[in-house]
Amino acid sequence: MAVPTNRKAILLAAFIAFGMVNVIYMLECFLFGYDIGVISGCLIMPDFVARFGQQQSDGSFILTSSRQSIITSLLSAGTFIGALAQAFTSDRFGRRGSILIWSGIFTVGTIIQTATIKSIVQITVGRFVAGLGVGALSAIVPLYNGETAPKAMRGMLLVLYQLQIIIGIFLSYIIDLGTHSINGSASWRIPVGLQICWGFALLSGIFFLPESPRHLLGTGREAEAIEVVAELNSVPEDDPLVRDIVDELEYGIRVENEGGKATWAECFSSRNLLWKRTMNGMMLQFIQQLNGQNFYYYYGDTFFKSAGTQLSPYVIQTILGAVSVVGTIPALYLIDTWGRRKSLLTGALLEATCAIIAGLVGHFTLAPSGTPIDQLTPRNKAGGDTLIAFAVLHVFTYSIFWGPTPWVYLGESFPLRVRPKCIALGSATNWLWNFLLSFFSPRIANDIGPLILLIFFGMLIFGFVYVYFFIPETKGLSLEEVDEMYRSRVPAWRAGGWRPSEKHLHDKIEVAEVHEVKEKAVDGQSA
């Protein structure tokens, strides 16, 4: 038997992840991440404000908090719908075909934004259309990765997905930093228009990727599935490893289809505590969005400008982006050593500490918004520097713990039968709260200033309590063992010491029986 290298699988997973943050998690990761970062810088560019802001009595233009929230949040509204809609396309057109469709929709939305002259309606519609693609890809890409990546590398590759999002954000900050001083619309059209390049890159690259072998087997295309499995593991098609993997996939598909077609209601059924697992996935995504980090990503430039720092807001955002990238790298190791639960608990406490310090210091020491820099007192300046320092620490700890871990948990908590639908529900929850956060945050911050960080502090404390009582450790468990753990109803705080009581030998026996029956059928036909 040849030794599998998984080299091809890693390259494919890396490309797809790269493909999700601006065309998603620098192409799907690089779709979402890049867009979050790029709009943050555009909101304070003079030409952007003059085109989409409101004219004041003195002839100047301002981008009100309501307009900021509309421009920013419409992308998230689209992502919510897209995350649910992909569940219908990924089965009908395949994972690869679905990625192609939604990448095209994203690219169209980006073109609409870039072509906008002065219409706030056009740019918000463009962001909504682009959001449809981002949201759909945010659910399809983990699904595709999960069906093509080696099981032993599942956690690391899902963290890699998050890392590509952060790289997209960081790159958008660098581009904003480089273009914000350009006179005219090029200052914002260049960073926004570059998303068209990411879209075309994903559209062209997807033709070089194989279809999910599981989808191929589910649609009766076994020969193609065997070819893909061999390619992903870098072994010949007649290698016994290929036959073993294909047999296991066929068994999983057969089990999945035993009860007929899975429904959305089944995600909340009492069987194997699916309702609890679905709610856990959705709650982690909800808490993740209210950690506070996306507030910095979306409105950091505007917020830090009010802090009175002498550093350019664009420079500060670039520092935040670099810190995010550096912070996500340790997560590649910690996710499979510390585990999911310990990462979430530690992250919640560290981020809560940063949020409450930044919020209180900012509230009691910052000068009123709009105060000229030459009128700031040493106390004001020290307060602004402290707020920024703890904002950086907040984003750093988020990148290590709460950034990747909820996505890892979402990808490994559900049985194959309902996995696409449960992941869609989790992703949709993420985008729903992303929309609400981006829509209401500027309005709230406009009223209470840095005290908005105390809202995030409260949510992080709630997140610590929720994780302690409801989120079990899933590190090192197969999907079948996760099923058994939930069936055993072991308390979440004791799940770290739980061990499976059965080794699921019946699974292997039934796989062998499937293989034996197929061999007999082939022998009978040849006779």
- The model's pLDDT over 427-467, given as tens digits with 9 standing for 90+, comes to 889 888 888 887 888 788 778 888 889 999 999 999 999 99
C-alpha 388/C-alpha 396 separation (Å) is: 12
Question: Which amino acid appears at position 166 of this protein?
Answer: I
- In 270-418, alpha helices (H): 274-289, 293-306, 313-334, 340-365, 378-400, 405-412
Residues 6+ apart with CB under 8 A from 249: 213, 214, 217, 225
Q: How far apart are CA 466 and CA 15, in angstroms?
A: 34
Residue 477 above 80 pLDDT? no
Burial classification of residue 60, based on how many CB atoms lie within 10 Å of its CB (0-12 exposed, 13-18 middle, 19 or more buried)? exposed
Query: How far is Cα of residue 2 from the mean position of the Cα atoms in its chain?
Result: 35
Share of the chain above pLDDT 90, in %: 19
Q: What are phi and psi of 264, to 5 degrees?
A: -65, -35
| 64 in Cβ contact with 445 (< 8 Å) | no
The pLDDT-based confidence of 517 (bands split at 50, 70, 90) is: very low
The CA-atom distances, in angstroms, between 174 and each of 25, 160, 302, 326 are 18, 21, 17, 15
| Beta-ladder partners of 56 | none
Mean pLDDT (the chain, rounded): 79
According to DSSP, the β-strands at 54-55 and 61-62 are antiparallel
Residue 23: pLDDT band by 50, 70, 90 thresholds? very low
What are the φ/ψ torsions at residue 61 (nearest 5 degrees)?
-120, 145
d(C-alpha 510, C-alpha 508), whole Å: 5
- CB of 129 closer than 8 Å to CB of 105: yes
CB atoms within 10 A of CB 490: 15
pLDDT digits (tens, 9 = 90+) for 289-327: 898 887 776 656 556 665 666 677 788 778 888 888 898
Are 215 and 147 a contacting pair, CB within 8 Å?
yes
| Cα distance between residue 451 and residue 457, in whole Å | 10
Which residue has tokens 């997140």?
463
Rounded to 5°, the CA angle 19-23-24 comes to: 55
More confident residue, 31 or 3: 31
CA 446 to chain centre: 28
Cα 296 from Cα 398, distance rounded (Å): 12
Cβ-contact 150, 9 below 8 angstroms: yes
How is residue 251 written in tokens? 């068994």
- Reply yes or no on whether the pLDDT at 98 is more than 50: yes
What is the pLDDT at residue 401?
A: 93
Give the Cα separation of 334 and 405 in Å (integer). 10
User: φ and ψ at 79, to 5 degrees?
Assistant: -65, -35
Q: Residue 505: which pLDDT band, with cuts at 50, 70 and 90? A: very low
Look up residue 270 and give its DSSP letter: S
How many Å apart are CA 450 and CA 73, to the nearest integer?
A: 20
Residue 265 token pair: 């209601």
Give the sign of the dihedral formed by CA 311, CA 315, CA 316, CA 319: negative
Higher-confidence residue of 71 and 349: namely 349
**For the chain, how many residues are written?**
527
Token pair listed for 226 = 């065997």
CA distances from 243 to 171, 185, 267, 504, 516 (A): 43, 57, 31, 19, 12
